[in-house]
Amino acid sequence: MNPKKDFIKSYDFIMLILIFCLMFTSIVAIYSASKSGQYQGGFVARQSVFYLIGLTISILVAKIDLNRIKRINWIIYGICILLLIVLIYSPESIARPVNGAKAWFQLPFIGSLQPSEFMKISLLISISAMVDKHNKVYKINNVKTDLILLCKILLISLPPSLIVLKQPDTGMTMIFLAIIFSIILCSKIKTSIALFLISIPTLMITTLLVILTKFPNYFEVRILSLLMPYQRSRIEGWLNPFEHSDAGFQTKQGLLAIGTGQFSGKGYLKGAVYIPEEHTDFIFANIGEEFGFIGGAVIIVLFFLLLSRIMNISLDALKNTNSLFGTMICIGTISVLAFQIFQNIGMTIGLLPVTGITLPFLSYGGSSLLSNMILIGLTQSVRNSYIGYIFCNLEGEKYG
């Protein structure tokens, strides 16, 4: 057996091609966005370096045995929690607040590093390992065992969620919740408990929408007053972007850019609408303006194909190895990427409030890109594990 040959044979090159397509799109769009003159140049070069590093790390992670990743999950979790705690007490010389949030280290020669981006990976791995171990201990699930599992997940999830919320980084906290809910709902818990958990956010959102549409004054005076000032301004800017010129400026400009792009766009480097953070949070608006509906649709199709590949890996892992850990890793990855895609595009077109969540693989940013590439590496590791399992079984049948 040749490990190198086996790795190449089991690697999902279709997924790699999709990543390369997103990489090319990212560099092209960032180059265009950097021409707006908001910041100094160099974004394209740095994003290219981030991609090279990310691809290398992704391949290295894919080569790590899945069981080894599961065994060291608490070490990874502890390191990530420690980084979040150190960030809180770090001086502003290395942890300067950006837009009111103390969420990044500013390190020499490295640049900005966002620990919460890597905490989401650790949280995904730890919860997946916990669910896998729980289901091996409790062969038959009931209400009692399901409640035990929920308490375990809560104990793992609460510390990092509270720390990140304190930064404050509401967007990353929402990503944590997406991971937690997706894994819980797919962890073989009883249907009644799953429906109860789904009903809580559904009821809350429905109630808020009813109050907003039927009693707008009460919503503004009573509900919004409960939020922090920056959260309240974002909600107001989302609901009435043309009335709140400051808080709703990004939303208004994003709508204008995508709207004027129409069906086929204005053409590359012909975007004229000024949008703050166009190379990061609002990269989709740049694509919509210059390439129109066609360009936006192509991006969404690429994301759909990528998520469908990860879903296939998840199903194949469960079918061929009965590996709940690998399946949970894939499900968590899908939830992270799908939530970020939906939230980012939604806020760009005014469907959702602005949260600062980046568009995976497209927005400029080292921490975000590297963390997402690690997630891709983890899903490739899951694929390698079940293909290796199938190969060993075939070899055993051949010589047995």
Cα 47–chain centre separation: 18
| 343: helix, strand or coil | helix
CA-nearest of 354, 368, 364 to 104 is: 368
Q: What is the DSSP string of 104-139?
A: -EEETTTEEE-HHHHHHHHHHHHHHHHHHHHHHH-S
Per-residue pLDDT tens digits for 79-92: 999 999 999 999 88
What pLDDT score does 98 carry? Answer: 80
Residue with tokens 């043309």: 242
Mean pLDDT value across the chain: 88
> How does residue 398 score in pLDDT terms, banded at 50, 70 and 90?
very low
CA-nearest of 221, 210, 106, 171 to 360 is: 171
Q: How far apart are alpha carbons 48 and 1 in whole angstroms?
A: 35
What pLDDT score does 282 carry? Answer: 92
Q: How far apart are alpha carbons 24 and 48 in whole angstroms?
A: 9
What pLDDT score does 3 carry? Answer: 57
Q: What is the DSSP string of 228-297?
A: -HHHHHHHHHHH-TTTSTTTTHHHHHHHHHHHHHTTT-S-TT------TTTTTTTHHHHHHHHHHHHHHH
What pLDDT score does 93 carry? Answer: 85
Per-residue pLDDT tens digits for 166-204: 888 888 999 999 999 999 998 888 888 888 888 988 899
Q: Which residues have C-beta within 8 Å of that of residue 128, sequence separation ≥ 6?
A: 70, 183, 324, 325, 328, 329, 332
> How does residue 58 score in pLDDT terms, banded at 50, 70 and 90?
very high
Residue with tokens 């280290």: 105
CA-nearest of 340, 374, 331 to 360 is: 340
> How does residue 139 score in pLDDT terms, banded at 50, 70 and 90?
confident
What pLDDT score does 399 carry? Answer: 41
pLDDT above 50: residue 269: yes
> How does residue 37 score in pLDDT terms, banded at 50, 70 and 90?
low
CA-nearest of 358, 373, 168 to 278 is: 358
Tell me the whole-structure pTM to 2 decimals: 0.91
